[in-house]
Homo-oligomer: A and B are copies of this chain.
Amino acid sequence: MFPKPLLAAGLLTAAALPAAGEGLDDAVTSFALDNGMQVVVVEDHRAPVVQQMVWYRAGSADEPKGESGVAHFLEHLMFKGTDTMAPGELSATVAANGGDDNAFTSYDYTAYFQRVAADRLELMMKMESDRMVNLRLDEGDIATERDVILEERNQRTENNPRALFGEQMSAVQYYNSRYGVPVIGWKHEMAALDLDDALSFYRTYYAPNNAILVVSGDVDPGAVKALAERYYGAIPANPDLPDRLRASEPPQTAARRLTFRDARVAQPYVSRSYLAAERDPGAQEKAAALYLLADILGSGTTSYLAERLQFDEKLAVYTGAFYNGTSLDKTTFDIAVVPQEGISLQETEAALDGALADFLREGVDPEQLERIKLQLRAAQIYQLDNVDGIGNRYGAALAIGLTIEDVRDWPGILQAVTAEDIMAAAREVLRPESSVTGWLMRDQEVTQ
């Protein structure tokens, strides 16, 4: 739950930056293939490299009940072979061509990517389109790779009290939504995943009409289109692709708390999560206000919580607030406070609640808001240097149902948020009834 990477924006003067929404449009071309596959091309000719990403609109929250982890399991299995490609051949080919490749799974999507020299794009498309439909798996692959993902869970989660704590927090936060189940899966369900589970997920969701191709780098949109039609366009749409139905949350009307004890905890802390609205197509204003609220409350040493709890009251060594609205369903707004040695979690939580209550009374400091907006504009410019980041931004947004227009509008919407918008969002999101408060504790800690 923390720390998440903080925005690494330097300090710039306002004069050095373009005004809100000005001159920052990415060179984006978008079209659809006849089989329904969406294609986005982001031109960037500064270096002769290209990144191909294929995003499937299928993540852990789309898994059948009892099969948690199958989306991520399939992501691993996708590096096995096809009729014409040996197991591992795709990655080996990328490496032999001096590139790199990988994949990742989230609640709402699974994505595969390669970064290679621009003239290798066709080869990448040939291979990526091949494994979209021709994957060949056998029981041996299943047994081997299941051990790999179990070991991955072991390393990332079982051996990490913070991760285990986060799992319990999410499970308590969501009553109905699959976001309460970890992306990597519950261990007992991972251990039972089999070939049928993997193939069923693959055949249901891996199809051009459920995929988004994002090509960014030193490419010509016309050439990309011709290649995409040749390789991906040849694959028929899956006519049985199910509607993307998600179980949404009922009213959350009870403030929840949990305590998680683990002898391995190095640093006890208080975590608080609130159920929060997500970015929706054509309606990103509330998410934008929450985004800025997180920055104001808990991003960096000049944030409200840092000034109050770290510097004024000297109770905490770290404070943070986090919000990422790029989510298909309702998400969370999170706060973490790590107390100074000798300060109890009870005192820490009371101080956090006191600070939040005061913030709701005092409102937003206009100077801080301006400073944050300036930093966002700066960050946006830096982002232009990162062609991978652009691919990620478009891919993730489109995979959760946002449009290219929404992605382009987002920086301007952030800049247009007012102090009043932020306070309205704060009053709406900071409701005890929809919150979970967690204490991560060492075994020997007393509760009160």
Contact = CB atoms under 8 A, between A and B. Distances in A.
A66 interface: yes
A16 B366 CA distance: 84
B172 A246 contact: no
Contacts of A264: none
B260 A258 contact: no
A187 interface: yes
Given A65-B65, A175-B180, A257-B257, A187 B250 contact: yes
Given A171-B175, A172-B172, A66 B254 contact: no
Interface string A168-198: 1101100110101100001111000000000
Contact of A66 (B167, B172, B247, B438): B247
A75 to B, nearest CB: 21
A150 B247 CA distance: 18
Interface in A428-448: 432-433, 438
Given A65-B65, A66-B247, A189-B247, A256 B176 contact: no
Contacts of A245: 65-66
Contact of A65 (B172, B247, B261): B247
A257 B259 CA distance: 9
A70 to B, nearest CB: 12
A65 B250 CA distance: 13
A248 interface: yes
A165 interface: yes
A165 to B, nearest CB: 7
A13 interface: no
A28 interface: no
A255 interface: yes
A250 B172 contact: no
Contact of A256 (B164, B251, B257): B257
A421 B257 CA distance: 32
Contact of A168 (B65, B254, B432): B254
B258 A256 contact: yes
A164 B253 contact: yes
Contacts of A189: 247-248, 250
Given A256-B257, A257-B256, A258-B256, A250 B186 contact: yes
Given A66-B247, A181-B176, A253 B260 contact: yes
21 contacts: A65-B65, A65-B178, A65-B245, A66-B248, A164-B253, A165-B254, A168-B175, A168-B252, A172-B175, A172-B254, A172-B256, A175-B181, A176-B181, A187-B251, A189-B250, A254-B258, A255-B259, A256-B256, A256-B257, A257-B257, A259-B432
Given A65-B178, A65-B247, A176-B181, 16 more contacts: A65-B65, A65-B246, A68-B247, A168-B253, A168-B254, A169-B254, A172-B172, A172-B254, A172-B256, A175-B180, A187-B250, A189-B247, A254-B438, A256-B256, A256-B257, A257-B258
